[in-house]
Amino acid sequence: MTDLAEGLALKQSGHTEAAIKVFRKLLQEDENNLDARHHLGNALISAGQTQAGIRELEKVYQKRPADPLTAYNLGCALFVDQQFSRALTLFSQTVRQLPGLLPARVNRGLTLHALNRPQEALADFYLALQKHPEDPTLNWNLALTLLSQGHYREGWAGYEWRWRQNTRERNYPHKFSQPLWDGRPFPGKTLLVYSEQGFGDAIQFARFLPLAKARGGRLLFECRRETAPLFVGHPAIDEQVIFSFSRAPQATFDLQIPLLSLPRVLEIELHNLPQPNPPALKPDQSRFWRQRLAADHFNIGLVWAGQPTHANDRQRSCSLKDLAPLLRADPAHKLNLAFFSLQLGEARAQLTESNGSIPDADMVDCAPWLRDFGDSAALINELDLLITVDTAAAHLGGSLGRPVWVLLSSVPDWRWFRERRDSPWYPSLHLFRQRRPKDWTEPIAQMTDALIQLAGETQLCRQRHQLQRKAEP
């Protein structure tokens, strides 16, 4: 086996760092080895070293500007780095030279979508579909684009292609012999609806459970332990089952369906989209936070990052440092703001790692009290405002009907559409959008101005109310 082949084999088997060492060694021996440099760039991208990978691929492209595969791989790297305009140029080059290369066509469609040119993206996907009607990745990305444009009927049908993706086992590991429910009435039978994907998806799509329950007998709902408290006493759930990766549900049932397939069989479109059912609240936790939150303060919850394992987390999450303008608003305007961090996971460490980059603010780290989503719901329900990136907290606040301001990246998830400032899924949400990739400055500045206005108006209302109470005999 040649050194180049060894490096490729290491990368393919998941030993990316070892492959990088092999490719670097080849370049030490011959810095003009463009194949080694090309594969080094790809390996660096796979290892999360995006900028270093782009530098290597740029060097190759300078030497091979007419090579379609070099253009394709550099385009992929630039797409990861959110340099969408140049990525589009490179993908278009590859499509012209290799019109049969499906990944190039799909990635060009994705890039057009990222540039908010959805009709062109759809045209690319439909053209590719003529020759590749059964390709899961193509159908999946077509579905997401359709959903982002509000074409729900066709989008829900295509959304079923998620089960043909290589992430199927990660979404839900169990298979069932019971028939998949097709939406028809099921009197006298038991239907299992099982949650899949993320916590936010479970909260968002649980609104469809009453519609399913109305068509039949008993309804079992399987969800993860963290979200289970939200569904205690839910009017549509006859029995709740806790999800386990290692063991399929032990309950008896006749029919089954994934939670995120309910909109398809229920024929959900924007005009008949039901509102969420408010989740259950823990009375003891509600009392705890009611006593802890000062009534004369404007109490704000903050979440600035999602789970790092999420495929789009680099784009959807910001940092606590990015939110500094919000934290500076109170000293400048004397608004009695109080901040409560609901941040969990690795990003919580930013509370103690700011090194003076975060202005002094009245900030409480609530993580020690947030054991599950039931605890989070009790806190959010007592806040005046929740400010969050696109993570489960946005869905939880929205389902409670509380005021929620959501920071969205320039290429948001399908459920937030592309231009709207509101959400048909949650009437209490207000969306603040990036206009430039990787730049949170503009939406956070807009949010800061809006916060100053809202908190000021709230403060005046409370002062008037206090004066009225004092004036009462």
Per-residue pLDDT reduced to its tens digit, 80-107: 999 999 999 999 999 999 999 999 999 9
Mean pLDDT (whole number) for 416-436: 96
CATH 3.40.50: does it fit domain 172-272? yes
How many Å apart are CA 380 and CA 398, to the nearest integer?
Answer: 10
Q: Do 172-272 and 283-469 come out as alike in CATH topology? A: yes
Nearest alpha-carbon partner for 315 in 397, 432, 431, 434: 434
Mean pLDDT (whole number) for 436-460: 94
Contact assessment for residue 169 and residue 179, using Cβ atoms and an 8 Å cutoff: no
Under the banding of pLDDT at 50, 70 and 90, the label for residue 361 is low
Total-model pTM: 0.93
pLDDT in tens, 12-35: 899 999 999 999 999 999 999 999
What whole-number percentage of the chain has pLDDT above 90?
A: 81
Q: Is the dihedral of CA 188, 190, 191, 195 positive or negative?
A: positive
* The predicted structure's pLDDT at residue 258: 96
How many Å apart are CA 398 and CA 427, to the nearest integer?
Answer: 7
CATH T-level fold of 283-469: Rossmann fold (3.40.50)
Whether 473 has a pLDDT exceeding 70, the answer reads: no
* The predicted structure's pLDDT at residue 170: 67
Per-domain residue ranges for the chain? Answer: 172-272, 283-469
Whether 386 has a pLDDT exceeding 90, the answer reads: yes
* Phi/psi at 428 (5° precision): -90, 0
- 10 Å CB burial of residue 457 (0-12, 13-18, 19+) is exposed
How many Å apart are CA 327 and CA 363, to the nearest integer?
Answer: 9
**Residue 113 structure tokens:** 């979508």
How many Å apart are CA 385 and CA 302, to the nearest integer?
Answer: 9
* The predicted structure's pLDDT at residue 329: 86
pLDDT in tens, 117-137: 999 999 999 999 999 999 999
Under the banding of pLDDT at 50, 70 and 90, the label for residue 169 is low
* Phi/psi at 299 (5° precision): -95, 125
